[in-house]
Amino acid sequence: MTKTQYYTATSIDGFIADQDNSLDWLFEIGGGAADNPFAEFFADVGAFAMGATTYEWVLEHDQLLEQPLKWADYYGETSAWVFTHRQLTPIPGATLNFVQGDVRPVHDAMMRAAAGKNVWLVGGGELAGAFADAGLLDEIILGIAPVALGAGAPLLPRRIGSSRLSLEKLEKRGEFGYLTYRVGAPEA
């Protein structure tokens, strides 16, 4: 059963990037790759989507225009959708779809491309919120870093009550607390 999942790291106080749009606070955290469940998670992903700010961050942080092959190292042939109102630079050789507007038709296309695997929403919070608003978010997986930021890019700028969210799993992996929530449909 295909799930649409918002999988992200966050600070304790609910920010996915700091005020300077940096993730340095995240990368300085110790812990071996063995503790990181991302590879296992991504193995079941068949399509993924991100917002323009996230895309630009990845582009710059990983110097993908200079080293476009790194994209394939990370994401293989998995198709990505980028929601943007701006003209963004594509990464040579990457399977990218630049889209805007209603998330529903895009989600349909992603489901088809995923061919039974899961759909990953990388972020930011506003994009994940748009999927949640449309009832298209099934699961939230948070890796909570041992950091407080005080300000930054919000994890999920929406009000979603406990009638829609249920804690499925909690585990400690190294310095991170991993929380998995099942997300129900919006109230009519």
| Cα distance between residue 57 and residue 55, in whole Å | 5
Instruction: Indicate which single residue of 41, 90, 179, 186 sits in contact with other proteins (rule: CB under 8 A).
Output: 179
Q: 110 — phi, psi (to 5°)?
A: -65, -40
| Cα distance between residue 141 and residue 70, in whole Å | 25
In whole angstroms, how far apart are CA 117 and each of 13, 36, 64, 110, 111? 31, 20, 26, 10, 8
Instruction: Indicate which single residue of 89, 108, 157, 185 sits in contact with other proteins (rule: CB under 8 A).
Output: 157
The bridge status of strand 176-183 relative to strand 139-144 is: antiparallel
Contact yes or no for 37/7 (Cβ under 8 A): no
Contact track, other proteins, 114-153, x by CB under 8 A:
--------------------------x-x-xxxxxxxx--
Verify binding: residue 181, other proteins, rule CB under 8 A: yes
* Binding span for other proteins by CB under 8 A among 26-34, 43-51, 62-70, 95-103: 26-34
Verify binding: residue 13, other proteins, rule CB under 8 A: yes
Instruction: Indicate which single residue of 28, 66, 73, 77 sits in contact with other proteins (rule: CB under 8 A).
Output: 28
Site for other proteins, rule CB under 8 A: 11-15, 18, 25, 28-30, 140, 142, 144-151, 154-163, 165-167, 170-172, 175-177, 179, 181
